[in-house]
Structure 1
Amino acid sequence: MVGFTPSKSEKPTMTASLTALAAELTQRAEIGPEDVLALRRLVWHDGGVNTAEADTLMALNSACPVRSPEWIDYFVEVMCDHVIHQQQPTGYVDDAKAQWLMQAIDHDGKVDSLAELELLVKVLETANSVPQALKAYALMQIEAAVVTGEGPTRKTGLMVGNGLLDKGAINDTEVELLRRVIYAQAGDGHYIVSRDEAELLFRLKDANLNAGHSAQWPDLFVKAIANHMMAHAAYQPLTREEQQNLDAYAADTSVSVLRFASRVFGHRTPDARLSKTVLDNSVSDDAAAMADAVVTHAERTWLDARIDADGAQDVLETQLLNFIRREQQEKSRYSA
């Protein structure tokens, strides 16, 4: 239906039809595959998703506890389009859209459905840039599910290893969501694990020590913390403001290229997390990566404090230290 533009006389009819269908589904408290097809026809009638339509779909997701798998796919697809692509510059989520999304899916500080949590993660993976508050909100939802044992990622009676999944345990779904959020292209760090994210992973580890957990959890913890301490990023995506300026330049050929580039990028300061050394243009990216791989005194002090927090070095912390040691030895051999 994308690309079809209804006449002015058809639009009120489609709006009324969407309202009537939403009322019927709310009364039934269930969304089936055939309902999703009907919603696709009504919402995509003009190739976009306006705020009223997005509000209607959000309300439906909350009002219908029984949802088909097709609904989750559709809900995430249509909401991503609304949040990411229905403003300029496309691909950049502004503060207003981020706040709208968080308020729409928040229920007393919690996200109730896996569809809403999947939507949050998909926005982070798809958008070029989002406000950091949105990524922090997504991580907070996963942490709350692990610590409390309740939330959209939990199922009654779920087993992990030889024991019940309880408070503090991390299941496969949560590990995968954590991995996707932490390494999403949008948000803090751009593939580099930030200090806040590293602190979160340590909190989850400490809460998880005496509980069953996913077999994938140790690998995520060790490699993500090592990433925080040693990783290098050669690419820094444009900010929303820079993209706006770039779009304006593309529409105005009278602007000097050199003057435009100076105005957009001339005063840009590299993110301190992405490089521990001040590098000029003559230094190769390989050299920059080698410099960033060195664990600084400040980083080691932070890590020692985290390891000493509970008075003992646990198995995962030992695995982490061994991994960092092997990585540094490999870098040393490479640079020799």
Structure 2
Amino acid sequence: MTTQFIQLAKAAAADGQVTTDELLALRREGWGDGIITRAEAGALFALNNALMVRSTEWVDFFVEAIGEHVLNGTPPRLQCSDAEAAWLIAQIDHDGVVESMAELEAMVRIIERAENTAERLKNYVLGAVEREVLTGVGPTRCGGELSATHISAAECRIIRRVIFASGGHGPAAVTRYDAEMLFRLKDKTLAEENAPEWDDLFIDGVANFLKGFAFQNAQVGHERKLELEAFVADNTPSVARFMGRMLREGSQAGNHFGKVFGKRQSGPDYGALAAAGEAVTDHEREWLEKMIDADGAVDELESRLLARIAAEG
């Protein structure tokens, strides 16, 4: 399958376009064995770089295929390890820029779909969008005719998807890195006609960082996920007998699992942790004061942010 797939991709790259028949053939070959290999994914990147026009159908296929390779090409599923993130970034950043919306969307979709994503991938995407805002050049800019410090609706949507994604620092958890990026963009674009979505994005994002709550270890690490999947997949007689005996004993005389595993420890009080997370700490307050004082004045968005925090207790 891989050889035929790569040949199809090279033929399309030589023409600088993907016809409907070629795209259908790539889908057929790519999904024939249910796996997009590293060699096939590399061929897709080479083809994407060679295209003069990227149709909606091509972008959909490219995003889907690259996501399948990164998240499901090797166990554990739905995990983007640091090594996989490094490979993905190297494919895109070979010339120092994100050249197409296909590449940008592929990364964003991986972050959205993943149970866990290497922090470097999320930060790379946010850094790319920040450069586009500040330079006016990039795949979200339709040729870059907009002002260099204008935040577009497309950029707002990408930033929101990334900082609130399940595969980031934690489910819907905005990090300090994210919040400081939002402040930098705000300070650079105060005098510009930003997209209407920007105000709410800034306030939602920074407020989430200050008052949000992310469970400790909410993300299952790459190595731990491999261990768990290996245990579940182990169908050797010893494991089967062990689990069978535990189930029988549990049904006959209450919880016998405690005899084997020890007394169950009470779990964390998530209600109390959440309440603690809602409170703005002295450290967070000092950080916020530093960010607001950076430009020597309290602007309208910062005033609305402070009002939001106060209103929420």
Considering the TM-score relative to the shorter chain, is it more than 0.5? yes
Alpha-carbon spacing, 1:259–1:197, altered in 2? closer, same or farther (3 Å): farther
Matched, 1:316 2:304: no
Post-superposition Cα deviations, 1:249-284, rounded to whole Å, max 9, x if no partner, equal 22342599889989xxx9xxxxxxxxxxxxx8474x
Corresponding position of 1:38: 25
| Structure-2-length-normalised TM-score | 0.86
Post-superposition Cα deviations, 1:110-143, rounded to whole Å, max 9, x if no partner, equal 1100000000000001111121111111111111
**Which 4+ runs in 1 deviate beyond 6 A?**
255-262
Per-residue deviation at 1:234?
Answer: 4.4
Corresponding position of 1:269: none
Corresponding position of 1:28: 15
Per-residue deviation at 1:31?
Answer: 2.1
**Any stretches of 5+ residues in structure 2 without a counterpart?**
247-256
Post-superposition Cα deviations, 1:195-244, rounded to whole Å, max 9, x if no partner, equal 11111110111111121111000001001100000012347132222212
Corresponding position of 2:177: 196
Corresponding position of 1:241: 223
Distance 1:50 1:201 in 2: 37
Of 189, 197, 222, the residue aligned with 1:208 is 189
Matched, 1:289 2:274: yes
Matched, 1:169 2:145: no
> What's the C-alpha RMSD, in Å, of the aligned pairs?
2.4
**Which letter does structure 2 place at the counterpart of 1:287?**
A
Alpha-carbon spacing, 1:317–1:66, altered in 2? closer, same or farther (3 Å): same
3-state DSSP of counterpart to 2:173: coil
Distance 1:62 1:259 in 2: 60
| Structure-1-length-normalised TM-score | 0.81
Alpha-carbon spacing, 1:282–1:75, altered in 2? closer, same or farther (3 Å): closer
3-state DSSP of counterpart to 2:213: coil
Distance 2:21 2:284 in 1: 55
Corresponding position of 1:161: none
Post-superposition Cα deviations, 1:149-200, rounded to whole Å, max 9, x if no partner, equal 1001101476xxxxxx311110000000000000111132332111111111
**Which letter does structure 2 place at the counterpart of 1:39?**
L
Distance 1:20 1:136 in 2: 34
Distance 2:215 2:260 in 1: 23
Contact 1:112 1:151 in 2 (8 A): yes
3-state DSSP of counterpart to 2:116: coil
Corresponding position of 1:15: 3
Distance 2:36 2:198 in 1: 38
Distance 2:159 2:225 in 1: 28
| Structure-to-structure mapping, 1:120-139, within 5 angstroms | 120-139=107-126
Alpha-carbon spacing, 1:30–1:243, altered in 2? closer, same or farther (3 Å): same
Distance 1:259 1:215 in 2: 60
| Structure-to-structure mapping, 1:50-89, within 5 angstroms | 50-89=37-76
**Which letter does structure 2 place at the counterpart of 1:15?**
T
State the aligned residue count: 292
Alpha-carbon spacing, 1:204–1:260, altered in 2? closer, same or farther (3 Å): farther
Corresponding position of 2:36: 49
